[in-house]
Homo-oligomer: A and B are copies of this chain.
């Protein structure tokens, strides 16, 4: 255990001790006991000084601005102390002391960066054979470890079911708040999924709903969607799910030209009623900086007229048809009917959901839903993992 300050709440295990350190004109070369060599530029080290002058200890937020330090500030001396910490003397008299666990966790030599990349969570793609991750309400409400397992399943698989929940209207909020506050929308904090005469969305009819993400009409689609079954006496209304990432993956392999069209050509989604008018222009498949599929945006009933060039229009229709056709293939579809006290929680930006038509004359059907953003899910996981 060493005593260097940290501008963080996480702890950083000692992976390897510091062996030697060499001061070069613009950087330090750090040799670790396990043989790794890590460069640290003087500016980077000065910028990340965790001393109480540079970081406010109450908030653990930086008060130093690097622009207030000379761009060519020199490091006069570097030494490893008895606690194994790296100590630096700067030309302007300032001193810095770095914890070796923290330093290794933030090293930016090629190997250290690759290790961090490889350690990141991966999505596990699924199809109709999915072993559905199921969680019981009571343990999930009481045991932080069960909660963490649920949240990891949401992050990595993107489809979960909770069983044994209360059937009182509003009780969904208790479950959602185990993660965080709820993201409000024009449909409210909790929304009621029931057939209504004055529906302001096809979701509030008895129609079948094709596979879609919710609120594709917003710049940021909600990260998590909850659908809680309170009453389900009507004939029909089964839930259908597909892994949008698995479908995008299949499209990429089977029809790369169609895949590219859906990544490149933006489509407008529209949700409009007497009181609101949301529009969002974005491609159906979004890729991250590394070219991996990061998000699916799709709802046929909320789509505006395609607006692309005369040349691109047939290409977009071909790709759109191909994608929808894949979502209709049985190999991808998980179909289940919820009983009262059960709820779906899924990654709304990945797992597309659909509903079969139901017969409102055959019995009552009442679901409640809500949203939570991905930021909240990931924050809660990090806090539970501390």
Q: Is the CB of A59 within 8 A of B106?
A: no
> What is the CB-to-nearest-CB distance from A283 to chain B, in angstroms, rounded to a whole number?
9
Among A40-48, A141-149, A229-237, A337-345, the one that faces the other chain is A40-48
Residues on B with beta carbons closer than 8 Å to the beta carbon of A320: 66-67
CB pair A61 B277 closer than 8 Å: no
- Within 8 Å CB of A280, what residues of B? 375
Interface residues of chain A, those whose CB is within 8 Å of chain B, are 8-10, 26, 39, 41, 43-44, 47-48, 56, 58-63, 65-67, 71, 106, 108-110, 113, 116, 180-186, 197-202, 204-205, 207, 210, 217-220, 266, 270, 272-280, 289, 300-303, 305-310, 313-314, 317-318, 320-321, 324-325, 328, 373-375, 378-380, 382-383, 386
Interfacial chain B residues near A26, Cβ < 8 Å: 314
Residue of B nearest to A189 (CB): B181
Contact of A276 with B383 in the complex, beta carbons under 8 Å:
yes
Cross-chain contact B309 with A113 (CB below 8 angstroms):
yes
Write out the residue numbers on chain B whose beta carbons fall within 8 Å of the beta carbon of A379. 186, 276-279
Q: Which of B61, B202, B303, B310 contacts A56 (CB 8 A)?
A: B202
B109 & A310 in contact (Cβ 8 Å cutoff): yes
Closest to A196 in B: B58
Sampled A-B contacts (8; CB under 8 Å):
A26-B314, A43-B317, A58-B197, A58-B198, A58-B205, A106-B307, A276-B380, A278-B379
List chain B residues, Cβ under 8 A from A373. Answer: 218-220
Q: Nearest chain-B residue to A322 (Cβ)?
A: B67
Supply 4 further A-B pairs (C-beta < 8 A) apart from A108-B306, A113-B309. A44-B317, A59-B200, A61-B202, A67-B328
Q: Are A8 and B56 in contact (CB under 8 A)?
A: no
Is there contact, CB below 8 Å, between A279 and B317? no
Which residues on the B side are within 8 Å of A321 (C-beta)?
A: 66-67, 71
Decide if B313 touches A108 in the complex (CB within 8 Å).
yes
Contact A383 B275 (CB under 8 A): yes
B324 A67 Cβ-Cβ under 8 A = yes
A56 x B378 contact (CB < 8 A): no
| CB–CB B375/A65 < 8 A | no
Residues of B within 8 A of A200 (CB): 59
In the complex, the answer to whether B65 meets A306 with C-beta atoms within 8 Å is: no
Question: What are the residues of chain B within 8 A of A380 when measuring CB–CB?
Answer: 276
Given contacts A65-B300, A375-B218, contact A108 B266 (CB under 8 A): no
Residue of B nearest to A188 (CB): B181
B108 touches A202 (CB 8 A): no
The 4 closest A-B pairs by CB, nearest first: A277-B382, A220-B220, A61-B301, A67-B324
Q: Which of B44, B47, B184, B307 contacts A184 (CB 8 A)?
A: B184
